Structure 1
Amino acid sequence: MANESISEQERHQREQILELDHEELLIEEVDDDSSDEDRHAIGSSSSGGLTFNTGLASLHTYLGNVEDTHHRDRVGFLEGGDIFSLPIFYLEGVVLFPEAILPLRVIEPNFIAAIERALTQVDDVSSSIIGVVRAHRNGNSGQRASFSSVGTTAEIRQYRRLDDGTLNIVTRGQHRFRLRRPYIDSEGVPCGEIQIIKEDLPLRTPIDALGDRLPLNKGSEENSDESFESSLSLTEKRVHQSAIVSCSEPENGGDSGLGLGKSSMSLSRTHSQHVNQSRRRFSRTFWPFWVYRMYDSYCLAQKASDMWKQIVGAPSMEGLVKKPDLLSFYIASKIPVSESTRQELLEIDGISYRLRREIELLESVNLIKCRHCQTVIARRSDMLAMSSDGPLGAYVNSHGFVHEVITLYRANDLTLVGVPVREYSWFPGYAWTITNCASCGNQMGWLFTATKKNLKPRLFWGIRSSEVSI
């Protein structure tokens, strides 16, 4: 039933796209001083006109009718430490994270053969899997590209073969990996020997570090401790016990109880009961509770989620607070920062460390500048979520180049090049125009203008994350 409802929803959205395609193209004069009404039209209902459906952009409908592949059976699952070889896509300006969506246009014959080979493999854990690694140039465009050492495996979820033999595919990130050895296979396809990175578990503050700061339930204090420990996995229980056992050992040796009389043993039992009753008031861990909370994955996840809601807004992160590992990757894939900073986030080992870095970035995100001349083109408050995935998303053009784009309600010091183009628009109902930095002439992205009279917002900007510094 779930699959039927999803397909019904997609059919309805595609009908909306066809309706937009039949409308007469209407391009108005570009005006940077768009009204606040246009800015807040996203996601709101309007009695006087149509507002843009942010779910359309995340479907990548410009790729056409793609066929699902995720229903195919998989022989096994990848685990941390696994080593194997697979085709590698080196993409400039792109950093793929686990669970993130990446669309691709596969044009070159050798890569087409590699994709088809991956799709037809049914007896291997790498079936329908490719690797994605960021390529970058430190100098001018003529300089030889360098490749990052950490990438992400991507499962081919949808594909479509066009009449000219090229492929449109939609992939989803799965596992981080380290690139051990890049090579070119006999068919001329870039491949690599990779090793899957083993991810850590979310860290939790030992309950004894909290002392009397935790609210007591109606049951006994000991039952509260037992309730806490019962919610932990086996590995988390071992970490929790190891954190408190060093400080809970008796100061005297193990023979201290030998030779005691009844009164002494009674005194010992009374002392033990007192210790149990005081365990919630005094920490048995080495560090105070606030130190542990600095690295508690769940506390950091809540803080990151709250900051995201305050600074960026959409999409909501509340549903992932109890899954700090997924939340850390999700924020990393959506946070509107430069590609080099996002690569830094991908290479961080440790959920808590990644979340702490993301919190720092959310606190510091303010000005969006041209990477080449440092001209300020926008502010944090100008960000606009034109996709249900948030203000940053990956899109592929008709020539196969993938761009990670930050969408903005307003931008400054940009010039337009050429005329608006309606074909192959990433945002159905909008035409795109190339835009350059007015100071240095660098190609920054595109201006998107509505092609339907009542579609809101009337215009917005899509800026390449690879061309900005934040």
Structure 2
Amino acid sequence: MDEEDTENNNNNNNNNERRLMLLERELLQIEQIRQLDSEELEIEEVEHGHQSSDDDDARQFDDRTYGGASAPGGYTFNTSLASMHSYLGEVEDTHNRMAFLDGGVILNVPLFYLEGVVLFPEATLPLRVIQPNFIAAVDRALRQVEAPYTIGVVRVYRDTDDGRIRFATTGTTAEIRQYRRLEDGSINVVTRGQQRFRLKRRWIEVEGAPCGEIQIIEEDLPLRTPRDAVGQLTPLTNLSASSTSHSKLLDHDSDALSDDSFESELSLTERRLHTSALVSSYRSDLFGESTSSDDEKFMCEPEHSSLHSTNNRSDEVLPMKKVMSHRPCRGAKRVNYSLRSLRECPRAYWPNWVYQMYDSYTLAQRLSDMWKKVVGTPNMETFVRKPGLLSFHVASKIPVSESTRQELLEIDGISYRLRREIQLLENFDQIKCRSCQTLIANRSDMLVMSTDGPLGAYVNPSGYVHEIMTLLKANGLALIGVPTEEYSWFPGYAWTVAYCATCEYQMGWLFTAINKKLKPRSFWGIRSSQVADDTR
């Protein structure tokens, strides 16, 4: 018995030491933030100049689409509880809804600089304000006339090269929606992201409140494919003129004469590129859309010589007759073309599929389809109609590292942000520890435990904000201490600190159900700041 007692005491001592070590690390991070107040102020000039903003209806749309009374998959946990941040206690509504500011507007607001947090428009950010300087910042926001109840949120990080603390130059304004002042002087606050801004300069006021001069970013409009990108006539007359019979089939009207002016404005090189694009477009129509995937495996060579035969000069325009002569071999499905389908050719310089690559609404549909596979089947119809809103919605919840999410925040064009998010979802497959690259979980382990989505921000009693992604399963993690229900972000679940078993950095928490009827019985919350930036 003495040996067992000794071993248990040693294990308890080791657990206590690890817990103290993790606590010291977190306190060190908080102290680093406090040191920012005494740093020399820097003025950073940034470029600006964008297009018009989205309409107010899109901005005010409620993005809570991940379930109501219960989570999917037979789970019984009420996912709306986590998004209410009930652990903060009772908070009073400010009943303030500020109108959105015009792009390019410059104003002074109190600043909150947070480590490990990237706030996006329409995302919720809870705060437990303990430090005197940030309490002064909240008080200033509550009484200011210009942009009342508004603060600026900026990500702060430590440079890996020289170890210095850096401020991001792109942040998001946050409107204080709820708050409560406690007896000890601290303030519990629930804010909501509003508009992106560029940080031009920052300073500390006499009462200690950190402030900054910001410029609201003017958001661009979603891009649409031009109406004339696909027309009813071929753009080059020599394509139709090369075959008399084909010319009769197309039945050109007087509008066809206008194509001569289009052709005359093209150089020889441009004409070759455009003709080549048309040929590719016709071949795609002939072979790609009308045959099944099995048929595509058994396509024959054309009856005549190839498109790039030695009999044809490189600068020769390919006749339509030869383009139409390429057809599938025996056994493949035959194509029945109507006159309309033959006449629907690109009228613009590039084929239609090129424009679709940057069509915001096409990209929004594609992204929403991919996002449904990650988080289940939320209602995304309204988001697809508002591509700008969808791009912020996914960016605020996509389970990637904070540096990658900051990159998304800094992208100005809606189409470019949507394309980047599609790329991230295509490459997103594994979650690894940032420090040692240990595999923690796979994409299939993602779990939605909040109406805010698979990733959300939560604040602990010390005022430190954590953005965590929820997982049903995780590997390579060890636990410290016993489960506790105190200040739990997920009502009905007790939490235990989890750290990487390889490098012993804190990765997050294990949440275990207290009520036997709650499902899932347990899940993990992984800090996004500790996730490896393993994206391309």
Aligned partner (choices 198, 203, 206) of residue 218 of structure 2: 198
Shift in Å at residue 419 of structure 1? 1.1
Q: Which amino acid aligns with 1:202?
A: P
Shift in Å at residue 337 of structure 1? 0.3
2:231 aligns to what SS in structure 1? helix
How many angstroms apart in 2 are the aligned matches of 1:247 and 1:279?
17
How many angstroms apart in 1 are the aligned matches of 2:222 and 2:260?
24
Change beyond 3 A, Cα 1:249–1:43: same
Q: Which residue of 2 aligns with 1:119?
A: 142
Q: Which residue of 1 aligns with 2:186?
A: 166
How many angstroms apart in 1 are the aligned matches of 2:453 and 2:164?
33
How many angstroms apart in 2 are the aligned matches of 1:62 and 1:42?
20
What are the residue-to-residue correspondences of 1:78-97 with 2, within 5 Å?
A: 78-97=101-120
How many angstroms apart in 2 are the aligned matches of 1:436 and 1:87?
35
What are the residue-to-residue correspondences of 1:182-197 with 2, within 5 Å?
A: 182-197=202-217
Shift in Å at residue 251 of structure 1? 7.1
Which sections of structure 2, spanning at least 5 residues, go unmatched? 1-67, 234-257, 266-339
Q: Which residue of 2 aligns with 1:392?
A: 455
How many angstroms apart in 2 are the aligned matches of 1:187 and 1:340?
32
Q: Deviations over 1:272-315 (max 9, x none)?
A: xxxxx999734331211101000000000000000111233254
How many angstroms apart in 2 are the aligned matches of 1:445 and 1:278?
57
How many angstroms apart in 2 are the aligned matches of 1:210 and 1:65?
57
Question: Does 2:173 match 1:136?
Answer: no
How many angstroms apart in 2 are the aligned matches of 1:304 and 1:248?
40
RMSD: 2.5
Change beyond 3 A, Cα 1:279–1:100: farther
How many angstroms apart in 1 are the aligned matches of 2:483 and 2:380?
35
4+ aligned runs moved over 2 Å, structure 1: 41-46, 71-74, 210-213, 246-253, 277-284, 311-319
Shift in Å at residue 64 of structure 1? 1.0
Q: Which residue of 2 aligns with 1:363?
A: 426
Q: Which amino acid aligns with 1:339?
A: E
Q: Which residue of 2 aligns with 1:43?
A: 72
1:372 aligns to what SS in structure 2? coil
Asked whether the 8 Å contact 1:208–1:279 carries over to 2, the reply is no
How many angstroms apart in 2 are the aligned matches of 1:403 and 1:327?
23
Asked whether the 8 Å contact 1:308–1:317 carries over to 2, the reply is no
Asked whether the 8 Å contact 1:315–1:389 carries over to 2, the reply is no
Aligned partner (choices 409, 412, 426) of residue 346 of structure 1: 409
How many angstroms apart in 1 are the aligned matches of 2:347 and 2:160?
54
Number of residues paired by the alignment? 368
1:321 aligns to what SS in structure 2? helix
Change beyond 3 A, Cα 1:402–1:248: farther
How many angstroms apart in 2 are the aligned matches of 1:112 and 1:145?
22
Question: Does 2:407 match 1:383?
Answer: no
Larger Rg: 2
2:215 aligns to what SS in structure 1? strand
How many angstroms apart in 2 are the aligned matches of 1:248 and 1:104?
65
Asked whether the 8 Å contact 1:202–1:297 carries over to 2, the reply is yes
1:87 aligns to what SS in structure 2? strand
Q: Which amino acid aligns with 1:292?
A: Y
1:320 aligns to what SS in structure 2? helix
1:300 aligns to what SS in structure 2? helix
Q: Which residue of 1 aligns with 2:270?
A: none
Q: Deviations over 1:64-86 (max 9, x none)?
A: 111111x2375x64111011111
Q: Which residue of 1 aligns with 2:229?
A: 209
Which sections of structure 1, spanning at least 5 residues, go unmatched? 1-12, 17-40, 214-245, 254-276
Q: Which amino acid aligns with 1:118?
A: A
Provide the identity percentage. 66
Aligned partner (choices 311, 332, 336) of residue 395 of structure 2: 332
Shift in Å at residue 109 of structure 1? 2.1
Aligned partner (choices 96, 100, 103) of residue 72 of structure 1: 96
